[in-house]
Structure 1
Amino acid sequence: MTNTSNAAIGLLTRGSGETLIDQIVRSVSSRIDDKLLRSGARMPSIRQFAATHGVSCFTVVASYDKLVAKGYVESRRGAGFFVRERSPLNAGERSMPDAPPAALEAKPLDVVWLIRNMFRPAPSQRVPGSGVLPSEWLDGPMIANALRAVSRQSGALLVNYGAPQGFLPLRQQLQLKLAELEIDAAPEQIVTTVGVTQALDLVAREFTRPGDTIFVDDPAWFLMFGAFAAMGLKVIGISRLADGPDIAQLAAMAALHKPKLYVINSVLHNPTSTSLSAAKAFQVLRIAEEHGFTIVEDDIYCDLHPGSAVQPATRMAALDQLHRVIYLGGFSKSLAANLRVGFIATSPEWAQRLCDRKMLATLTTSDIGERVVYKVLSEGLYRKHVDRLRGRLDAVRARTVRQMEKVGLHVDVAPPAGLFVWTDTGIDTSALAERAMIEGLLLAPGALFSPSQLPSTRMRMNVSTSQEPGVWEFLARELRR
């Protein structure tokens, strides 16, 4: 198959007003349209392209990703990037100069863009838009010891399917954990999942049908939007304030749209790290009762909160006792993302329905991962671990907020706990994120956190991955432009 390694794209110019990524995309797509690069030809490797044209590998990756999104290039796992076969519709796109930009090309940044780049190898201090703790903050040896202990158990236990509802000793341990949060849930009310991501998917598929409406916070965790839309659901954002949702808007929208579900972070909301007040929690429950929708309480950051004895933290599942609230939790943010152990706590009837739904999707979850998490929880290691995590976050949070303000970022609410700060840059953060990617920095622009994905000046920053001076040098320079 022909290789395009000798296909130079011309001189790239810095300071021309057009980003290096856009110059590469424009030049390569033009050569494909002009048949100078043939369908099926292999594109240069990322390193080869970067060396030939004097740009960073991050710039090439972002350029290739945009070419894939535009339909010019395809990625083949393990083989590289190849010029894609062009359909007549694709080939005719250049002849529509009056078409709006959205018709000509995919958005330069979208939810998939952020997720894809979050999984690319990069120094943890150069990903201020990341949604996780640096791996060096987590306790790998603790996980390794627990895994070794599990491996010494009966071989039959390690090679067979796990229980559909989840490893029973883990569910019993979760019962104790939930009791500390004043949530009464017996083991038969708990279903384990592949993280909170699968938990949300199972709940949405079980309790909604195409055409139904689902409410989310605005801003909120971006991964939900595309997943729910792919199910044929109408996704509507409810404005999130410092103490919870805008109650007047929630009541009005509930009366108008009659949602089936409302997905909400009560504690350490992503991306603001704010928490729900008790007054707001009661009001949300009242509106849910009045309009007949179910609340899905995503509490994935539960263990990064110091607890109600130190700071107020109201969980609707504790007030409602799993009558109209489905509670979701997990350990990917605080223990190990690679274990992918999450859980759903709900009524016994709904737990059985969700277990059946889980079996249709994946049969069972990983019994090995659940045994490892059980080992860590049951031996008291986890409590000390999360205490250390909270201490490290507290040590960098205030300093990071001061640094934000120093470079010109505005922080409405400086959260007292959690990973994130929701900051206002005063400029379009999607464009800012594109420029950051050229320099090997991953930002999380505000547009991705809203169901509307309209341009935003907001940005989520992770205090644990924003400690490198290069992050602040870039932001200070860009905000002075």
Structure 2
Amino acid sequence: MQTPHFFISRDSGGSLVEQIFHAVANRIDDKLLRTGARMPSIRQFADEQGVSRFTVVEAYDRLVAKGYLESRRGAGFYVRERASMTMNTPVMPPLPDSAQQLDVVWLVRNMFRQLPPQKMPGSGVLPHDWLDGELVANGLRAISRLNQNLLLHYGTQQGFLPLRQQLQLKLAEQEIAAAPEQIVMTTGVTQALDLVAREFTKPGDTIFVDDPAWFLMFGSFAILGTKVIGIPRLHDGPDVVKLAELAAIHKPKLYIINSVMHNPTSTSLSAAKAFQVLKTAELHDFMIVEDDIYCDMHPGSAVQSATRIAALDQLNRVIYLGGFSKTLAANLRVGFIATSPELAIRLSDRKMLSTLTTTEIGERVVYKILSEGHYRKHVDRIRVKLDGVRDQITKRLENLGMKVEHRTPAGMFLWTDTGLDTNKLTEKALEQGYLLAPGSLFSPQQLPSTRMRINIAAMSDPGVWDFLQKAMK
């Protein structure tokens, strides 16, 4: 058997044994290495990957110990049947032999694989070299010099007060009036959405989302037993006629929407659409949840419209969400909810009952970065870098035969139409070590799609372009 091509780096911080172990285990989990397949010999693996035989022996031994491989005396190593193993963690359902099963969990799981960021054009975060690790590190060092007792207790129920006061100023710049007692800190927008959904829905209720939209919501809302219905997203916001029609039929409790820098299209809501969405919500009595996680990638209304429904409504029927994981660090899970004073109390109580408080250390780091003026300059640099590659990447994709449906002047995503089944395209890419984001994952229906989300910040690897060029022929 020819050795599969793995991405082994001596500069990654992980040992070569660990990298080989995880690379082989991941391929077995994803059914790219089938049960019964013979692994390369130790010598062959070592020679083709440029590592020592001792390294391969230790990696293979770990794979045997974890039940991924079996050693047959005199015959070598073979992929073991995983379904028959008793494991402490849930076993994923077997995938069909003919195709890799693609769903929300699949993409989330693969986003956390140890692939280099430049090999993940389907990811939803900026590569490490686009961010400022020293900015976050300086914040952590400053926090470490505080009185240690401040770092040892729980945080406060609604979150670090100075940060909430700083967010009050930030929201005021977006014409949203929110006192600190109206802001609840969360572990990212993901927790914020979960808290709101649990507060307003019960099993059988309906939640509206954009179509396409951020895929993680579909799985988390399904766990709650709710029905998720997509509202077609146009270049300037949702199809408001369809929104009204479906609202009259389904009586939703919530509508989750990206008004600014929509994921995955990077489009933004027009003022007219914002007004119409709010009027529809009032007529059919549902709450609007405005997820504005990408807001700081927007350059301002001089370049593109940036109307927030929360600015029109002032947090009566609109619940506003934000966070910093997309612009500072994915590992800095600091998000927030801005809402009415009464609802803020209920949501903070619900947060306490589920996770107690949020981590004040991270909130202090974000506060330091915001309050000292570093954040504004940092996001300015990110926007400049995105502007520097957007047109070039758009043209290269179009030259390959892809269509970019909404050409926007800002944001980190392009929503492309490849003309191919992007589920199959994604399977082929994964075999080459690249992670794509097929369009099927961004719709509640998750039907096969020719569309695909491209992260323009993660398109620097020539191998990505070589793969796409061959695939599009």
Task: Give the TM interval when normalised to the shorter protein.
Answer: 0.7 to 0.9
Aligned equivalents of 2:67, 2:340: Cα separation in 1: 46
User: What's the offset of the Cα at 1:25?
Assistant: 4.3
Q: Contact conserved, 1:393 with 1:417, CA < 8 A, in 2?
A: yes
Match of 1:97 in 2: none
Match for residue 181 of structure 2 among 181, 188, 193 = 188
Residue 286 (str. 1) matches residue 249 (str. 2): no
The C-alpha deviation readout for 1:427-464, integer Å capped at 9, x for no partner, is 10000000011111111000000000000000000000
The residue aligned with 1:172 is: 165
Contact 1:164–1:364 (8 Å) recurs in 2: yes
The structure 2 residue matched to 1:208, chosen from 201, 206, 211, is 201
Percent identity over paired residues: 65
Alignment of 1:469-480 (within 5 A): 469-480=462-473
Q: Secondary structure at the match of 1:460?
A: strand
Alpha-carbon RMSD = 2.9
1:264 and 1:412 map into 2 onto residues whose CA distance is: 19
Q: Label 1:203 to 1:104 Cα distance change in 2 as closer, same or farther (>3 A).
A: farther
Hey, what does 1:154 align to over in structure 2? 147
Q: Deviations over 1:356-399 (max 9, x none)?
A: 01001110000000000000000000000000000000000011
Shift of 1:143: 1.0
Q: What residue number does 1:319 align with?
A: 312
For the residue of structure 1 that corresponds to 2:331, the secondary structure is: helix
User: What's the CA shift for 1:337?
Assistant: 1.4
1:50/1:365 CA distance change after superposition, 3 Å? farther
SS at match of 2:151: helix
Secondary structure in structure 2 of the residue aligned to 1:163: coil
**Post-superposition shift, 1:309?**
3.5
Residue aligned with 1:442, SS: coil
Residue type at the aligned position of 2:402: L
Q: CA deviation at 1:82?
A: 6.5
Tell whether 2:230 aligns with 1:237: yes
Per-residue deviation, 1:112:
1.3
Q: Which moved more, 1:407-416 or 1:167-176?
A: 407-416
4+ residue runs over 4 A deviation: 10-13, 24-27, 46-50, 52-55, 73-76, 101-107
Aligned: 1:257 with 2:220: no
Contact 2:303 2:409 in 1 (8 A): no
Q: 1:248 aligns with which of 238, 241, 245?
A: 241
Q: 100, 109, 112: which is aligned to 1:116?
A: 109
Could you state the TM-score of these two structures normalised by the residue count of structure 1? 0.81
**Change over 3 Å in CA distance of 1:478–1:170 after alignment to 2:** same
Find the aligned partners of 1:50 and 1:211 in 2 and give their Cα distance: 56
**SS across alignment from 2:454:** strand
- The reply on whether 1:276 has 2:249 as its aligned counterpart is no
Contact 1:400 1:467 in 2 (8 A): no
Paired letter, 1:300: I
Cα contact 1:222–1:450 (8 A) shared by 2: yes
Letter in 2 for 1:334: T
Partner of 1:360: 353
- Please say if residues 408 and 476 of structure 1, whose CA atoms lie closer than 8 Å, have aligned partners that are also in contact: no
Q: What SS does the aligned partner of 1:338 have?
A: coil
What is the aligned counterpart of 1:51 among 45, 49, 53?
Answer: 45
Q: 2-side partners of 1:346 and 1:47: how far apart?
A: 61
Q: Pairwise mapping of residues 113-152 of structure 1 onto structure 2 (< 5 A)?
A: 113-152=106-145
Kindly provide the amino acid, as one letter, of the partner of residue 297 in structure 1.
E
Amino acid at match of 1:438: E
Contact preservation (8 Å) 1:407, 1:472: no
C-alpha change, 1:474 and 1:104, in structure 2 (3 Å) is closer
For residues 354 and 301 of structure 2, the distance between their equivalents in structure 1, rounded to whole angstroms, comes to 37
Distance across 2 between alignment mates of 1:279 and 1:245: 11
Alignment partner, residue 92 of structure 1: none
The one-letter amino acid paired with 1:282 is F
Deviations 1:251-277 (A, max 9, x none): 010000000000000000000000000
Which AA in structure 2 matches 1:399?
Q
Q: Does 1:454 align with 2:447?
A: yes
CA distance in 2, matches of 1:254, 1:403: 40
Provide the C-alpha distance between the structure 2 equivalents of 1:228 and 1:47, rounded to a whole number of angstroms: 46
Equivalent residue for 1:379, pick from 360, 372, 375: 372
Kindly provide the amino acid, as one letter, of the partner of residue 437 in structure 1: L
Aligned to 2:301: 308
Change (3 A) 1:453 1:404: same
2:24 counterpart residue number: none
Deviations 1:141-168 (A, max 9, x none): 1111111111111111100000010000
Retained in 1: the 8 A contact 2:3–2:44? no
Instruction: Give the number of aligned pairs.
Output: 418
Residues 162 and 52 of structure 1: is their aligned pair in 2 closer, same or farther, counting only changes over 3 Å? same
Q: CA deviation at 1:74?
A: 7.9
1:197 and 2:190 matched: yes
Which SS does the other structure have where 1:337 is aligned? coil
Counterpart of 1:226, as a letter, is G
Q: Which residue is equivalent to 1:40?
A: none
